[in-house]
């Protein structure tokens, strides 16, 4: 199987208006979306669209409804001029543990028929129940070979942290996925660096024993993720970091919601 686990560390570092730094250990799944039936069959604690110790549900992703996540990603890209018929989609994400998950971000690595990486979709969720899909298909760096790290830029389209304004951009730095995983997201307000997040991990084969060890090493990890988000937000609030209330959905959010609804109907 190409599907695997990455075990490692997430680090958040804020530089404006006050320095704030924390890190925690995580494990994430890197799933070949074509292999989900095989993963369910071979890995006892894992199920696809049904309850288990660990579960992947299609309705946790894209339009948050039942139906093949891979097909939804391909339709979403096709509507934007990227045809990946017969391509492969790998998803870096957290799965439900005992029925619960919150994914601040999931990344879809979308490959064409030749195997080349053609696009990445960053699926961002906030704690207000909103979601936005950032299509990353035009790297900023000149060298875009399969062995080269890629850098993408996207203007912020959805409110995430109540301590960062909507006037911001994201820089995504994505190293080739292999024995190690390295993802960096840097957020700027104007010319000012505000926040960066780094995810580093080492590949672990996905099997019953390895998943069991990960669950023992990171018990109730998905609950710890949401608890850490709120705990760190409280610390920032007590330090009197400026607070931004949740705005109405942006023009981009409304347009994307309409697009996903149209894709469902077709």
**Lookup: tokens for 45:** 């604690």
| Cβ(125)–Cβ(105) below 8 Å | yes
Residues 30-64 pLDDT 10s: 999 999 999 999 999 999 999 999 999 999 999 99
- The 8-class DSSP code of residue 62 comes to T
| Cβ(233)–Cβ(164) below 8 Å | no
**Lookup: tokens for 257:** 């919601």
pLDDT number for residue 155: 96
pLDDT number for residue 145: 62
- Percentage above 70 pLDDT, the chain: 98
pLDDT number for residue 144: 59
Rounded distance between C-alpha atoms, residue 107 and residue 48, angstroms: 19
Find the radius of gyration of the CA atoms of the chain: 18
DSSP notation for 161-216? -TTS-SS-EEEEEEPPPSSEEEEEEEEEETTEEEEEEEEEEEEEE-SHHHHHHHHH
- Alpha-carbon distances, residue 207 vs 5, 140, 149, 235 (angstroms): 9, 37, 29, 38
Residues 127-180 pLDDT 10s: 999 999 999 988 887 565 667 889 999 999 999 999 899 999 999 999 999 999
Residues 72-104 pLDDT 10s: 999 999 999 999 988 999 999 999 999 999 999
**Lookup: tokens for 6:** 């990455």
Helix (H, G, I), strand (E, B) or coil at 172: strand
**Of 3-12, 187-196, 204-213, minimum mean pLDDT range:** 187-196
Average pLDDT of the chain to the nearest whole number: 92
Rounded distance between C-alpha atoms, residue 24 and residue 231, angstroms: 13
- Reported as a pLDDT band with limits 50, 70 and 90, residue 220 is confident
């Amino acid at each position: 199987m190409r599907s695997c686990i990455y075990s490692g560390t997430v680090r958040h570092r804020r530089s404006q208006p006050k320095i704030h730094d924390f890190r925690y250990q995580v494990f994430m799944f890197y799933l070949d979306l074509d292999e989900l039936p095989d993963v369910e069959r071979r890995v006892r604690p894992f199920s696809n669209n049904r309850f288990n110790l660990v579960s992947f549900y299609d309705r946790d992703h894209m339009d948050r409804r039942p139906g093949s996540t891979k097909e939804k990603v391909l339709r979403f890209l096709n509507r934007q001029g990227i045809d990946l018929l017969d391509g492969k989609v790998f998803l870096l994400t957290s799965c439900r543990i005992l029925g619960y998950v919150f994914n601040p971000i999931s990344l879809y690595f979308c490959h064409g028929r030749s195997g080349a990486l053609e696009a990445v979709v960053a699926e961002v969720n906030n704690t207000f129940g909103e979601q936005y899909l950032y299509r990353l298909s035009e790297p900023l760096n000149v060298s875009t070979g399969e062995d080269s790290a890629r850098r993408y830029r996207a203007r912020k389209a959805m409110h995430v942290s109540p301590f960062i304004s909507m006037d911001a951009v994201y820089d995504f730095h994505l190293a080739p996925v292999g024995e190690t995983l390295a993802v960096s997201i840097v957020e700027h307000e104007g010319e000012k660096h505000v926040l960066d997040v780094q995810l580093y991990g080492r590949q672990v084969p996905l099997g019953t024993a390895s998943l069991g060890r990960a669950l023992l090493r990171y018990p109730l990890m998905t609950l710890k993720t949401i608890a850490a988000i709120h705990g760190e937000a409280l610390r920032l609030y007590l330090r009197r970091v400026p607070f931004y209330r949740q705005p109405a959905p942006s023009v981009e959010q409304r347009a994307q919601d309409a697009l996903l609804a149209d894709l469902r109907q077709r």
